[in-house]
Amino acid sequence: MVDELLSKNSAGLSEDGIKLVKIRVLESAQGFFETTLTLNKVKGFQCPELVAELHMPLTCQIRQWIIRNIIFVMTFCSLFAALLWILWSIYQRRALSNRAEQIYEQVCEILEDNTINAKIGNSECDPWVVASWLRDHLLVPQERKNAFLWKKVEELILEDSRIDQYPKVIKGESKVVYEWQASGSLSAKIRKVQGARGKSRTVAGAIKLAEEMGTCMGEVREQGSSNLTHKDRTKA
């Protein structure tokens, strides 16, 4: 290796100079490197491990660290994968619950509208709606494959006392239907109550304002009469 390096860059040295450099290089190598014998019984130099680690590529260092700490690495990867799975499950359940509540609200609106239209006298509208029709109408094709989504919606519907569920024979086939049993919309009633409260607050505010204005006018009149009395006394 020394001969090859010196042949590439002799730096203008003579043959004696090159020999001297080679001797000095070999002496320095013997003092720094570890000597060893190759398979061919040839003397060679070996770099100390501490020095070799400083010049080791980063990928090789990472690979050696993983091999030395294989148990820790496998444990950490298992725990990290379990944590990701738990977080993903929580996210999926929360998203499923939110979507089920959204569909449940749409079911309530549809059933309530059907009941109102049926009471008005619309012959084309029935007060009930087939459950499977609602499912296919409100769920996109991808969501229909998820049986837990509609099952969650059905649980919310069963908990609602305003919705009645019963079997009905339609075209010779038994179907489960939903029917809105509430006499009126609670949301509409709440809006009416809030409107009445707002009107009462407005009237009360107007009355209070009128009373304050009347009080102010009375004070002005009293002040004016007292001023006149003072002037009359002054003239006297």
Predicted model pTM: 0.51
| Residue in 187, 105, 92, 114 with CA at minimum distance from that of residue 153 | 105
pLDDT band with cut points at 50, 70 and 90 for residue 10:
low
pLDDT band with cut points at 50, 70 and 90 for residue 204:
low
pLDDT band with cut points at 50, 70 and 90 for residue 108:
very high
Return the H-helix or E-strand segment holding 1: none
Q: What CA–CA distance (Å, rounded) separates 139 from 104?
A: 11
Extract the tokens encoding 85.
């799975």
What is the sign of the dihedral through the CA atoms of 178, 179, 181 and 184? positive
* Ordered domains of the chain (ranges, CATH): 32-70 (no CATH), 94-180 (1.10.10)
Distance of CA 10 to the CA centre of its chain: 68
Provide the 3-class DSSP secondary structure of residue 181.
coil
- pLDDT higher than 90, residue 85: yes
Distance of CA 108 to the CA centre of its chain: 27
Provide the 3-class DSSP secondary structure of residue 164.
strand
Name residue 176's beta-bridge partners: 167
Question: What pLDDT, on the 0 to 100 scale, is given for residue 229?
Answer: 44
107's CB contacts (< 8 A; 6+ apart) are 134, 138, 153, 157, 163, 178
